[in-house]
Amino acid sequence: MKKKILIISGGISKERAISLDTGRQVAKELSKNGYKVKITEPNFNLLKIIKSFKPKKIFNALHGQYGEDGYIQTILEGIKIPYTHSGVISSALAMDKELSKKIFIKNKILTPKFILYEFNKKKTVLLNLIQKKLKFPVVIKPINEGSSVNVFICSKNNIFKKLRVLKNYKKIIIEEFIPGREIQAAIVGKKKLGAIELKPKRTFYDYQAKYNVNAKTQHLIPVNLSKKDYNNLMNVTMKAHKLIHCRGVSRSDFKFFNKKFYLLEINTQPGMTKLSLVPEIARYHGISFIKLLELILKDASIQK
């Protein structure tokens, strides 16, 4: 019997369903390969379950708020059991789109220009600011969500209608819209895993395009890039991974336009479902799902 692995999935974020799917897929694969596995929610019984199950490592299968923003990581640090994916500070930085973009800009990684919006701004002030700094169309999104939850491409005519959908968020990020190709690249441990291109049938690679099998998003691998462009892509991906001090696995999302890669964001808890991109990239490069999970588990640790 291999090691006991406790998988934490579910949670209360808007990505709960995806997290549960990730947890099930990971549990199924580990179980059939000799691991003793238990799945739990991150609720009040968590510490009791950890104490009784006595796992060697914890696989963090949570997505979204409280799961990949440093919150659960802070709890796991106190337990002193190695856990997968990035630590407290790295998770918080990657989840906060304002902070991570500032790190990218400071370190000369190209990322779309942006402004922050708080709901006390007058409409005319915001419109003038957008015209001056960004131009329409723009992308609006919460500062701390994943999986393209509540992300919208907006024109001058519909921006305030879309902003009303986001009224429960304290701060919104508004960034310039970059057209072009949707390309995502992954790092596992210290290895440049590879990249994949998405061609969604929808306006962009939104939540439905990611997780609805009927959305018929086209996955292209290998990505049609010159060797120089591909190497540049993977070098930028590794640079971002290191700057945020990620561990385990990360996936960086890019737009490729006018021969330039624009880094949109970095994801420290990429999905492990049947439609997820990191397992697909790994599979193309000869790394099975169980091998991928074992590489992630190998990198599990307690933050130093």
Q: Which residues are identified as catalytic? A: 15, 147, 211, 251, 253, 265, 267, 271
The amino acid occupying position 273 is T
97/117 Cα distance (integer angstroms): 13
Least Cα distance to 291 among 33, 67, 3 occurs for 33
Report CA 76 to chain centroid distance, whole Å.
20
What number of other Cβ atoms are within 10 A of residue 259's Cβ? 10
46-65 burial, b at 16+ Cβ within 10 Å, e below that, comes to beebbeeeebebbbbbbbbb
Instruction: List, as one string, the DSSP characters of 275-294.
Output: T-HHHHHHHHTT--HHHHHH
Q: Listing from the earlier edge strand, what are the strands of the sheet with 57-60? A: 36-40, 4-8, 57-60
